[in-house]
Chain A
Amino acid sequence: GQNIDQPTEMTATEGAIVQINCTYQTSGFNGLFWYQQHAGEAPTFLSYNVLDGLEEKGRFSSFLSRSKGYSYLLLKELQMKDSASYLCAVRDVGSGYSTLTFGKGTMLLVSP
């Protein structure tokens, strides 16, 4: 099984930069995903990392260190619409199948 930890809540100011951390323990790591979920809506895909390093996509970047079991999502130039829950998810290929396990999410509140 997997154990995925991320902070429960974070607050930041419009225009600032925020880093959301995620640590995981898994036996058959096969990729890490970040999703954004606004209240009452479906999660939407943000990023995917399977190799170590930084993946940049516009205002969002995601970093992975497989040896440390660690990832972070970096959000730059924060906007009010970035207030949402951010979910870290790990794909595991144990037992020959591939499952995607989610952390409990980090609620980000962006204030003016």
Chain B
Amino acid sequence: EAQVTQNPRYLITVTGKKLTVTCSQNMNHEYMSWYRQDPGLGLRQIYYSMNVEVTDKGDVPEGYKVSRKEKRNFPLILESPSPNQTSLYFCASSPGTAYGYTFGSGTRLTVV
């Protein structure tokens, strides 16, 4: 089944403890992206990648890192999480600019 898989689905962590949210797609898509969704603010892009080793900042990149060493994987790294990073995170992938994104099921992160 074609899909974008994120893990974990839910995570509660403490301030300052490094964490990684994994994202993998099995559709051979070139484009991948991370979004966070907050009430009243909608979906905001954190980082995106157009291909292996090609990444760029979105609208809200502060406090996040990404890497794209393989085409299928696009992990999101929070080196030192803070409470303002409590949010619902979505990974998404797309085969190209004329196509919509396929979203993962989301990761609900709480930083205390």
Contact = CB atoms under 8 A, between A and B. Distances in A.
A42 B45 contact: no
Contacts of A43: 43, 90, 101, 103
Interface residues of B, number: 25
Contacts of A44: 103
A25 interface: no
A44 B103 CA distance: 7
A102 B100 contact: no
Nearest to A8: B40
Contacts, number: 55
B41 interface: yes
A87 B99 CA distance: 16
Q: How large is the interface on A (under 10, 10 to 19, 20 to 34, 35 or more residues)?
A: 20 to 34
Interface of A: 1, 30-31, 33, 35, 41-45, 48, 50, 87, 89, 91, 93, 97-105
27 contacts: A30-B97, A31-B97, A33-B100, A33-B101, A41-B106, A42-B90, A42-B103, A42-B104, A45-B100, A45-B102, A48-B98, A48-B99, A50-B98, A87-B42, A89-B43, A97-B56, A98-B31, A99-B45, A100-B33, A100-B45, A100-B101, A102-B35, A102-B42, A104-B40, A104-B42, A105-B42, A105-B43
